[in-house]
Amino acid sequence: MVFCLLEVTCGPYLELVKIYPLDMAPNSVDDQYDGCTVKMAHLVKTKYLEKEINNSTDFRNAWQEGEVNATAPEDNLTRNHSIAIYVYTNLNSNIYRNFNTAVRNGKQNYTNQAFKWYSLHFLLTDAIKILTETQKKCKSTYRGTTVEFYQNVTGKKVRFGSFTSSSLERKVAQDFGNKSCFEIKTCEGADVIKYSKYPEQKEVLIPPYEKFKVTAVKTRKYHRNLWCDTVYRLESSGKRSDLNCAVPLQWLLNLN
């Protein structure tokens, strides 16, 4: 991720503050598998899932915990969909953090077969798509963070570029940080409350390919009663998947 370092003078000390961009996340692994779901599901079942579980002790342990504790699937989901959501939402492991870093920055690795998370990426994406078909409505959600973002983004199109957790309740979002917060209208995100390890967080999971328009940016400097230092308002504006079906296509080409 590209970021700016600002020098902030605090008495005799000099502090470096990271300012993160809000942009279209051009290096995102944003495959939405539109038109290749069956092929990718086959690859995950026969190739990627077992390989990735065996190659990572953390992933293996998290997956095994999910096999024991994940909710029995409904809503047209499979057991592996439910386990994947449990694994992602499990804050006791480092999976979600390492996975999201790889998704946000792993475009080249994804196309070079060096990505370590093909199975989890597909299962989460497929689960989100199935659930949004069942839920059939956009949702108003909130996200709290402990970091700073560029503020000069009103009117711009942005993506989170990774799988992004948000909550139907603002108070839950505030518990995760009140530095930079988001009021989000998502039409591609799915309510995963039933399958999350922490249903009380009322989580809506947003996929990396959803686009948003920044309709407002407010700060406490001008709005004293704001619920966070800076609040970004995002409205869903469609999808962008630069890597759509990149893995199944490459696999088919290699067969010829």
CATH of the domain at 103: 3.90.176.10
Give the tokens for residue 1. Answer: 């991720």
Query: Domain for residue 13, yes or no?
Result: no
Q: Is residue 2 part of a domain?
A: no
Please tell me which residue in 143, 188, 210, 241 is annotated as part of the active site: 143
Residue 61 domain-assigned?
Answer: yes
Q: Is 165 a catalytic residue?
A: yes
Residue 175 lies in a domain: yes
Q: Which of 196, 203, 236, 241 is catalytic?
A: 203
Q: Provide the pLDDT confidence category of residue 254 given band limits of 50, 70 and 90.
A: low
Look up the domain containing 86 and give its range.
23-255
> Mind listing the pLDDT tens digit for each residue in 39-79?
999 999 999 999 999 999 999 999 999 999 999 999 999 99
Q: What is the pLDDT of residue 3?
A: 37
Q: What is the pTM assigned to this prediction? A: 0.92
> pLDDT at position 256, please?
39
Name the catalytic one among 28, 119, 165, 180.
165
pLDDT tens digit sequence for 143-165: 999 999 999 999 999 999 999 99
Residue 12 lies in a domain: no
Instruction: Please report, for residues 5, 47, 90, 179, the alpha-carbon distance to residue 77 in angstroms, rounded to integers and kept in the order given.
Output: 43, 20, 19, 36
| pLDDT confidence tier of residue 202, bands split at 50, 70 and 90 | very high
Is the pLDDT confidence value at 9 over 70? no
Which residue, among 35, 34, 114, 129, has the nearest Cα to 81 in the 3D structure? 129
Domain membership flag for residue 6: no
d(CA 198, CA 137): 23
Residue 4 lies in a domain: no
Question: How many distinct structural domains can be found in the chain?
Answer: 1
Active site residue 143: yes
In a domain, 9, yes or no: no
pLDDT at 251: 62
- Segment 168-188 shows an average pLDDT of 98
Question: Mean pLDDT, the chain, as a whole number?
Answer: 93
Tens digits of per-residue pLDDT, 76-112? 999 999 999 999 999 999 899 999 999 999 999 999 9
- Comparing CA positions, the residue from 99, 93, 66 lying closest to residue 81 is 66
